[in-house]
A = this chain, B = another copy of it.
Amino acid sequence: MKKAVPDRIARLRAGLAESDLSGLVVSAPSNIFYLSGFTGSSGALLITAERALLFSDFRYRLQSREQAPDFEFVEVERDLFQRVGRVSADTCAGRLGYESAHLTCELLGHLTEGLQSRELVAATGLVEDFRAIKSPDEIVHIRAAAALADQALDHMISLLRPGATERDIALEGEYFMRRAGADAVAFDLIVASGPRSALPHAGTSTRELQPGDLVVIDIGAAVDGYCSDMTRTFAVQTATEQARQIYEIAHRAQRAAAAAVQAGAICGEVDAVARTIIDEADFGDCFGHGLGHGVGVDVHEAPHLRKGDDTRLAAGNVVTVEPGIYLPDIGGVRLEDLLVVQADGAETLTASAMPAELPVV
């Protein structure tokens, strides 16, 4: 990580110049981490053409020195953003950018107070745009996170039996990944069974698995600050014809959309590949979310594979492809792989099997 920091700051400075900004106040924790290496829970960066400052409080005095040696540390007791504003006013002339998608209205007020009459400009997406294209080093971390999730999934599959609770299966999956070296889970793992599998972001409950349940397992690890994301669907002991049918459609949609992923492809058109297959099978109303999203420092980041999005994929994007079909009160299927976009296709980072027919365990 450390070596990458100067490159990223240089790239941001070029971006600032293009946007006619004299500096950027960075407040999104994932952008702070990406640019500086700092992981404290409270802080902000100010990056100008000449200087790179990290503002935080007493608690992070030593940690900032350890994690962000390329930054000058400014220790602030209270009203951190007012201080950022004051230092900005002293440090750079001209327009100052801030991250409007992350900064709260209250903190913008503090920043403005400190800045007094300096011009502030909403500059969301500057850092996120760089982040969407991963370097080989970053892909190493994402690959490691995906490999841990693959191993954990095998362990979780071994626990799928009537009477096991969603929560226990999720906890064992998380414990497995963290013992194996994950910093954390990329998100609260989802184990959603029976009718709950029709809730696309159900989390887990204390529901016990029953024969005939569909079980959606959505799992990701975080390694060295980078996330992975994968989903598989199973049936417990037995499966209805309807469950087999929606699985088969979701699988077909997943494979067709994954095959459409390559540099230059338009995000909305990749989404449409999957959506058309599900629509034509008359389940269009049961696939209410986008096809996929970028994955990196955040588990949801740019680019977004969704209806109407005209962004073009680029080599180095890492995206999920995850169509789902959800039948309220009955159950659902979601199948998700993680892909690295390449010039002429994509490499799938997920290694876990995705059988063409609903796996019954």
Given A105-B108, A108-B105, A201-B40 in contact, is the A58-B171 Cβ separation under 8 Å? no
> Is A103 part of the contact surface with B, judged by Cβ < 8 Å?
yes
> Is A10 part of the contact surface with B, judged by Cβ < 8 Å?
no
Report the minimum CB–CB distance from A177 to chain B (whole Å).
10
- Distance of A16 Cα from B203 Cα, bound (Å): 33
Taken residue by residue from 163 to 185, chain A's Cβ proximity to chain B (1 for < 8 Å, 0 otherwise) reads as 00000100100010011000010
- Nearest B residue (CB) for A287: B58
- A59 to B179, Cβ gap below 8 A? no
| B residues less than 8 Å from A175 (CB atoms) | 171, 175
The interface stretch among A60-68, A230-238, A262-270 is A60-68
Name the interface size band of chain A: 35 or more
- A60 to B201, Cβ gap below 8 A? yes
| B residues less than 8 Å from A245 (CB atoms) | none
- Distance of A124 Cα from B104 Cα, bound (Å): 11
Q: Which of B40, B106, B199 contacts A101 (CB 8 A)?
A: B106
Taken residue by residue from 94 to 131, chain A's Cβ proximity to chain B (1 for < 8 Å, 0 otherwise) reads as 00001011111110110000000000001010000000
Interface residues of A in 271-305 (CB under 8 A from B): 288-289
Interface residues of A in 158-214 (CB under 8 A from B): 168, 171, 175, 178-179, 184, 188, 198-203
Report the minimum CB–CB distance from A40 to chain B (whole Å).
7
- B102 to A62, Cβ gap below 8 A? no
Report the minimum CB–CB distance from A175 to chain B (whole Å).
5
Taken residue by residue from 43 to 83, chain A's Cβ proximity to chain B (1 for < 8 Å, 0 otherwise) reads as 00000000000000111111100000000000000000000
Report the minimum CB–CB distance from A170 to chain B (whole Å).
9
| B residues less than 8 Å from A198 (CB atoms) | 62
> Is A240 part of the contact surface with B, judged by Cβ < 8 Å?
no
- B199 to A62, Cβ gap below 8 A? yes
| B residues less than 8 Å from A101 (CB atoms) | 104-106
Interface residues of A (CB under 8 A from B): 39-41, 57-63, 98, 100-106, 108-109, 122, 124, 168, 171, 175, 178-179, 184, 188, 198-203, 288-289, 328-329
What 7 A-B pairs are tightest by C-beta distance, nearest first?
A58-B288, A100-B105, A59-B200, A100-B106, A101-B106, A59-B201, A105-B108
- Pull 30 A–B residue pairs with CB atoms less than 8 Å apart, ordered by A: A39-B203, A41-B201, A57-B288, A57-B289, A58-B200, A58-B288, A58-B289, A59-B199, A59-B200, A59-B201, A59-B289, A60-B199, A61-B288, A62-B198, A62-B199, A62-B328, A63-B202, A100-B104, A100-B105, A100-B109, A101-B105, A101-B106, A103-B105, A104-B105, A105-B108, A105-B122, A106-B122, A106-B124, A171-B178, A175-B175
